[in-house]
Chain A
């Protein structure tokens, strides 16, 4: 006996034609298996339709808000780590480039050390020339001008300094600035 067609009808959701219904009833009268399957389905469907809605524990929304806050924190942490990784990567790259630039020095440092020594010698030579020139100039000036003129120039310079300080204090006083 072919049960497949009758099973199709048993579990179909659409209403059957009267002729199909008659055939099905006839089949169910003679077939124990299909009858039991039909009964089983009726009980199953009844159970599904009677099953209640499962409810979450109280405070579902509060738990969601906590979870959302934790998620945001995690995201911020992830972004911070990403930035840190980016900067670290940049630093490593710079060090790598510096290493490439310094590589010739590591292999043969003599020419660079010689160049540095030559530059230092040049600086010392220039400094000595400037010092000698300044000493000669000062001794010449001291020899030409009388000591009283030097004292007068010193007093004049000190007076100018005092005048500058007093003027500066008057100009920067609170009353003048915020008036």
Chain B
């Protein structure tokens, strides 16, 4: 598989469109999933994934063949999504305010589909308050099993920054979960303690 992929990359670097199409076939799912988890919307995710492959095709001659292609590809996708989220925030549109559209081709049956929909909505509500880089780190850690080193390489961060961002993201997600489930998890704060705790 690795050899086949390397040959596709070399052929694509020589301008062979059909070799690049093979690379798209191989990587469309991870790229789309990353974009979907980052942007929380199927249409935006489709657009971001398509744009990622366009950028990769234009830049593939500059790709260093000694590096893993998947990491490079996801790095481009992640940075594109981070830029998109920042642009959204510039235009003062919150992710929470955006209409949530469900993926159409996931689960058969209405019950399974409803349960899946609820899970997707919960994941979205957990990820959306995070800042874009923290969100990218969480997605890479939990969906792609990337190591801290790999996340640091993809997001161009230091190892300690990745650790602190993941730590902060976990805490933020747990707090979101606490707020979403007040009926089961009731906070009992003592008067002399900080409101943060």
**Chain A residues within CB distance 8 Å of chain B:** 1, 3, 7-8, 11-13, 32-33, 36-37, 39-41, 43-45, 47-58, 60-61, 63-65, 67-68, 71
8 Å CB contact of A37 from B28, B123, B167, B175: B175
Bound CA span A128–B113, Å:
105
Interface-centre pick from A44, A65, A68 (highest chain B CB count, 10 A)? A44
Are A55 and B29 CB-contacts (below 8 A) given A11-B170, A48-B126? yes
The residue in chain B whose Cβ has the minimal distance to the Cβ of A67 is B50
Report whether A13 and B163 are in contact in the complex, using a CB–CB cutoff of 8 Å: yes
Interchain CB contact under 8 A, B185 and A54:
no
A61-B189 in contact given A8-B167, A44-B177, A48-B142 (Cβ < 8 Å): no
Top 9 A-B pairs ranked by shortest CB distance? A54-B36, A41-B174, A56-B32, A40-B177, A11-B170, A40-B174, A36-B185, A48-B142, A3-B197
Contacts from B to A (Cβ < 8 Å): 17, 21, 24-25, 28-30, 32-33, 36-37, 42, 45-46, 49-50, 53-54, 57, 103-106, 116, 119-120, 122-123, 126, 138, 142-143, 163, 166-167, 170-171, 173-178, 181, 185-189, 193, 197
B185 close to A40 (CB less than 8 A) = yes
Closest A residue to B166 by CB, please name it: A13
Cβ–Cβ contact A33 & B175, under 8 A: no
Query: How many A-B residue pairs lie within 8 Å, measured between CB atoms?
Result: 121
Contact status B32-A47, CB under 8 Å: no
Name 18 interchain pairs, CB-CB below 8 A, sorted by A: A32-B187, A33-B188, A33-B189, A41-B177, A43-B177, A44-B176, A50-B119, A51-B119, A51-B123, A53-B33, A54-B42, A54-B106, A55-B103, A56-B29, A56-B46, A57-B42, A60-B24, A65-B17
Is there contact, CB below 8 Å, between A47 and B170? Answer: no
Is the beta-carbon distance between B173 and A32 smaller than 8 angstroms? no
Known: A33-B197, A39-B185. A55 touches B24 (CB 8 A): no
Please determine whether A53 and B126 come into contact, CB atoms closer than 8 angstroms. no
* A64 and B50 contact, CB distance less than 8 A: yes
CA of A9 to CA of B126, assembled, Å: 21
* Given known A-B contacts A41-B173, A41-B177, A60-B24, A55 and B193 have beta carbons under 8 A apart: no
CA A47 to CA B143, docked complex, whole Å: 11
- In the complex, which residues of chain B have a beta carbon less than 8 angstroms from the beta carbon of A56? 28-29, 32, 45-46, 49
Give, as a whole number of angstroms, the nearest-CB distance from B92 to chain A. Answer: 27
Q: How far is the CB of A32 from chain B (nearest CB, A)?
A: 4
Contacts of A11 in B (CB 8 A): 167, 170-171, 174
Return chain B residues, CB-CB under 8 Å to A54: 32-33, 36-37, 42, 45, 103, 106, 120
Which residues of chain A have C-beta atoms less than 8 A from B33's C-beta?
53-55
The answer to whether A47 and B126 have CB atoms under 8 Å apart is yes
| A37 to B186 Cα, complex, angstroms | 10
Q: Which residues of chain A come closer than 8 Å to B170, judged between CB atoms?
A: 11, 41, 44-45
- In the complex, the answer to whether B53 meets A47 with C-beta atoms within 8 Å is no
Contacts of A65 in B (CB 8 A): 17, 21
What residues on A are CB-neighbors of B187 within 8 Å?
32-33, 36
The distance in angstroms between the C-alpha atoms of A36 and B184, with both chains bound, is: 9
Residues of B within 8 A of A61 (CB): 21, 24-25, 28
